[in-house]
Each structure stands twice: as C-alpha cells, then as structure tokens.
Chain A
Amino acid sequence: MKKFCIGLVILGCLMFGITSGGFAADKVIKMSTTTSTLASGLLDILLPELKKDTGIEIKVLAKGTGAAIRDGMDGNVDVIFVHALEREKEFVEKGYGTKRYAVMHNDFIVVGPKEDPAGIKGMTDAAEALKKIALSGSTFISRGDDSGTHTKEQELWETTGIPMNKETRTIVLEGKELKVSFFSPQDSGRWYVSIGQGMGKTLTFADEKQAYTLADRGTYVNYKLGRAVPLDLEIFCEGDSRLANPYGVIPVNPKKFPHVRYDLAEQFAQWLISPRGQSVIKNYQVLGQTLFFPDAIPGIK
C-alpha cells in the first residue's frame, strides 16, 4: 500500500509537470501547408528569419494540398501555403480566404532508377514520358493522396491518351450524396502503385522499389543531395511547361471564421512577398541548387 501511494504521488507530480508547461508565446499562428515546403527544408530556413523580423511563430501542419485546403475551409488554421492554382482560386472565390499571394514556383520532374527501363531519358514531353512508362509496364509510384502533385499527375495521365480508370466513391456531405472520383491508368495491374503518402515518403518508396515517380524538384533535390544516404533516382524528364508548380499563400478569411488570427496571417503573407522574404527564398540552396524561384519579385537577389 505504501508503495502504491508513493507511485500515485510520483504519477501526480509528472502529470502536473506536463500540464503546467503552458503556452507562453502569443504571436503564434497555425499554418497548413503541403509536405513539399517542409520536406524540401525551406521552412526550416524561412521560419526562423520570419521570427527574427516580425516575432511571429508558426505552427506548421504539413499535409497534402487537399487536406491543407480543407483545414482552411474548416477554419482550423489561420493561413494556408499550398500549390494547386485552380483550387486556390476557388478557395478565395468561395470566401474562405481573403486573397492569394503568388509567392514562388518550382517545377515537377519525372524521376526513376538509373537503368531507365522505360527509356525516357532526356524527354521533355511529360505526357509522352508517362505513356512510355505505362507501355513498358515499369513500376510507377503515385502519391495518391489528393495533393497538388497528385492533382498534377492525374492531369498528365489524362493527356497521355491512355484509357483511364475512374474510381468513384459516394459519400454523404451535409446531407447530400456526393461523388468523389480518382483517375488512374487502366490495366495498371501491378505496375501502378498508389501509396497515399507525402512527397518525401513517395520518393523513398520509389527509391526502395527502384520505380518511377512524379516529384517536385525541391523535395527531390533535398532528398538527393541533402541527405547522408542520397536517393538512388535520376531526373529523366523536365522542362515541360505543364510541369510548372506555383505556390501561393492565402490568409483565412476572418469574416468566415472570426477566431482566426488574420492580422498575423496577413503580416506573414506580406513578409513572404516582401524583398526580405523573397530573397530568403531565392537564396535557399541545397548544395548549390536553387529549389524555389520567387514570383512576387522575380528579379530579387
């Protein structure tokens, strides 16, 4: 019994210690962003600079673009930082966000194993490259998570002319039945693997299985050059205009969600497009490679 009491006291002390930590800082906002901004290492450089300049701290929730936008639509976060232009425009039009600020861009690339079983090395037409992968039956790893990259991948598959498989699910939302569909190549059997995970995970998956995948350049370079054990994947297709990947930041509309910290979110967005923020983005390099190109002030040094 004595032992039991002592145990209880220790447990009590521990619990008190945990809960009394508290949240001291008050200039904290929540941001939902895509996994690529975090996995590329950009935020690790950007956020400390932001704090130095403005005192704002950001709680980062890295998800697929679909989920990040959803967070904004539910008022769970104060600002979103994503890459799916059409969906971002819709987000603002429907009143969930105040304004989209173009921040930066990079591009998508098709990467794959050194041996290049599909023979797509040096191709500039992304759709043709995907078609060759499909026809040769080489393993292709798809994000499959409704992210910006996945959205882009589905668009590209549709332009290849390969018959597409449409998978539709019926869900009920706000009392109405709603169809959600995803596209993937037909007859994809064992070569098309949809894993439903973030960019970094998808790259390591492709690396493990020595397969092709569509990746954003930022994450790829960071995983290729920024790690002790580099990825065993090469870039095979780049430069297609359809592979452009613009990023935007949107503060969540306080008219829709009065509890969001709009002032701080707006200040953050303004900082990102200011010469200071743009120059941090421009100068972020991983082993000599620039990962993101500023869009608000393209010529910044």
Chain B
Amino acid sequence: MDFFVDSFLSSLILIRTVDPALLNIVYVSLKVSLLSTLIAGAVGIPFGFVVAVTEFAGKRAVITLLNTLLALPTVVIGLFVYMFISRRGIFGVFDLLYTQKAMIIGQVILIVPVVTTFTITAISRIDTRYRRTAMTLGADRIQTAMVILREARFGIVASVVAAFGRVISEVGISMMLGGNAKGFTRTMTTAMALEYDKGEFVLAVALGIILMSISLVMNILLNYFQGRTAV
C-alpha cells in the first residue's frame, strides 16, 4: 500500500515542480500520437467509407484482412518498418530511424485498420433508405456521401478516439522506431518502460498516473465534441 502512496505523492511532486524533462516527454507523446491519429483518420475514414458503400468482389476478404490487421502486434510493425528505414534498408538514406517521423509511420500503420474497420461498421449500420432518399431528392454523389457520413458520425468519432487511445498507450513501436532518446523520442510509455528497467518503480507509476490523467482529459474533450454534434 505504501508503494502506491509513494508513487502518488511522487507524481504530485513531478506535476507541482513542472519538471521540464517530464513536460518534454508529455509533449512528444501528445505530438506524435495526435499527428498519427490525424493522418490515420485522413486515410482510414475515406477508405472505410469506400469499402462500406461499394460492392465489389472480395469485399469480405478485405474486411477479414482488416480485422486481422487489428491484432497486428506493435513489435511486428516495428520490425518491418525498421527493416525499411534502417541505415542498411531501402530508405536508409533518409535517416528516419530513431526520429519522431519513424514513430508516426509505425503508428499510422498500426491504427489505419482501427479507423477503417470502425468506419465500415458505423456506415454499414446506417439504413440504406437514407442513401436512397438523398438520391431521390436529387443529391449528387458527394452530397449523398456527406449525408451518410453525417449519420455515421458517432461511430466515426469513436474510431478516432479508439485509434488515439491505441497510439498514446503503445510502447513497442515507440521503443523500436523512436529509440527512447531523451528529449527527442522519449514518450510517456517508453519512459515508464525505462524507469521499470532501472528499478525506479515509483517514478514509473508516477508517470503512469500522469498518462492516465492525460488520456482521461483527451477522452472527455473528444466526448464533448461528439456530444455537441448530436442533434
């Protein structure tokens, strides 16, 4: 029990003193996770939309594949991306490994399937009558798409929230592609893994408490936006 009290007090001290190293860790975490989520949303939502509303041969296979990719371990992604961007890899000349860019590449690969499958589910649930009504009222393709997206917005926002939660909490990609370099690519999760490795459990838990608080705030914000768009 003392352990938790110690950790909690330590985290309070860290927050109260506005530890600059900690601020940087939080900043890197949020920056990388938000950028990854934005990019994945920009790719995944249109992709999911197209898969959901069009009929084509192999549609089931695509959905099954996406569902499989949901279970892709972060270390596998880390390893694959590593092989491409390592100094000896094809893209080695760009010197991407152990940078924030590398982390974003890996994280986008991780969550594009999340955004896509959630979007497909959300759109498939929309009654096809919306689509037909819109079309009979003279909506063109884009207007029809907007109607469908509008009806499916809850599911789509949920997909983005889930994707953000996935990247801010993942450690495998950040560690393998970011390299946990202090001040550059050290995120909350890799910092926690490090403190654990060092045997500084108190500091690790303190960071964990901060991570949970930040995730909570982010989720409250996102839920707020989701709620406000509801009619």
* A and B associate in one complex: yes
Cβ-defined partner of A205 (8 Å) among B2, B7, B98, B182: B98
**Least Cβ–Cβ distance between B189 and chain A, in angstroms:** 12
B21: nearest residue on chain A (CB-CB)? A167
Assess whether A172 is in contact with B9, with CB atoms less than 8 Å apart: yes
B197 proximal to A (CB < 8 A)? yes
Cβ-defined partner of B180 (8 Å) among A66, A68, A174, A196: A196
Assess whether B197 is in contact with A196, with CB atoms less than 8 Å apart: yes
Q: Please give, as numbers and ranges, the residues of chain B lying within 8 Å of A69 by CB-CB distance.
A: 199
B30 proximal to A (CB < 8 A)? no
Q: Please give, as numbers and ranges, the residues of chain A lying within 8 Å of B196 by CB-CB distance.
A: 67
Q: Mark A221-240, 1 if CB is under 8 A from B, else 0.
A: 00000000100000000000
Assess whether A70 is in contact with B186, with CB atoms less than 8 Å apart: no
Cβ-defined partner of B199 (8 Å) among A67, A197, A201, A229: A67
Q: Please give, as numbers and ranges, the residues of chain B lying within 8 Å of A201 by CB-CB distance.
A: 179
Assess whether A64 is in contact with B6, with CB atoms less than 8 Å apart: no
A195 proximal to B (CB < 8 A)? yes
A178-212, CB < 8 A from B? 180, 193-197, 201, 205, 207-210
**Least Cβ–Cβ distance between B29 and chain A, in angstroms:** 15
Given contacts A171-B10, A174-B2, are A67 and B197 in contact (CB under 8 A)? yes
Interface centre among A144, A173, A229 (most CB of B within 10 A): A173
A52 proximal to B (CB < 8 A)? no
Assess whether A66 is in contact with B13, with CB atoms less than 8 Å apart: no
Assess whether B88 is in contact with A196, with CB atoms less than 8 Å apart: no
**Least Cβ–Cβ distance between B202 and chain A, in angstroms:** 5
**Least Cβ–Cβ distance between A175 and chain B, in angstroms:** 7
Q: Please give, as numbers and ranges, the residues of chain A lying within 8 Å of B84 by CB-CB distance.
A: none
A170 proximal to B (CB < 8 A)? yes
A277 to B190 Cα, complex, angstroms: 37
Q: How large is the interface on A (under 10, 10 to 19, 20 to 34, 35 or more residues)?
A: 20 to 34
B196-214, CB < 8 A from A? 196-200, 202-203, 206
Assess whether A67 is in contact with B21, with CB atoms less than 8 Å apart: no
A146 proximal to B (CB < 8 A)? yes
A216 proximal to B (CB < 8 A)? no
Given contacts A194-B181, A205-B98, are A171 and B203 in contact (CB under 8 A)? yes
**Least Cβ–Cβ distance between B224 and chain A, in angstroms:** 34
Interface centre among B7, B97, B182, B184 (most CB of A within 10 A): B182
A78-133, CB < 8 A from B? none
Assess whether A145 is in contact with B98, with CB atoms less than 8 Å apart: no
Assess whether A208 is in contact with B186, with CB atoms less than 8 Å apart: no
Assess whether A196 is in contact with B186, with CB atoms less than 8 Å apart: yes
A110 to B17 Cα, complex, angstroms: 37
**Least Cβ–Cβ distance between A124 and chain B, in angstroms:** 30
Given contacts A169-B14, A169-B19, A229-B88, are A145 and B198 in contact (CB under 8 A)? yes
**Least Cβ–Cβ distance between A16 and chain B, in angstroms:** 22
Assess whether A173 is in contact with B6, with CB atoms less than 8 Å apart: yes
Q: Please give, as numbers and ranges, the residues of chain B lying within 8 Å of A153 by CB-CB distance.
A: none
B residues whose Cβ falls under 8 Å from a Cβ of A: 2, 5-7, 9-10, 13-14, 17, 19, 21, 86-88, 97-98, 179-184, 186, 190-191, 194, 196-200, 202-203, 206
Please name 19 further chain A to chain B contacts, defined as beta carbons within 8 Å, in addition to the given A68-B199, A172-B10, A174-B2, sorted by A numbering: A63-B199, A64-B197, A66-B200, A67-B196, A71-B199, A145-B197, A169-B14, A169-B19, A170-B13, A171-B200, A171-B203, A172-B5, A172-B7, A180-B203, A195-B181, A196-B194, A205-B179, A208-B97, A208-B98
Top 5 closest A-B pairs, CB basis?
A70-B199, A67-B199, A196-B194, A194-B182, A172-B9
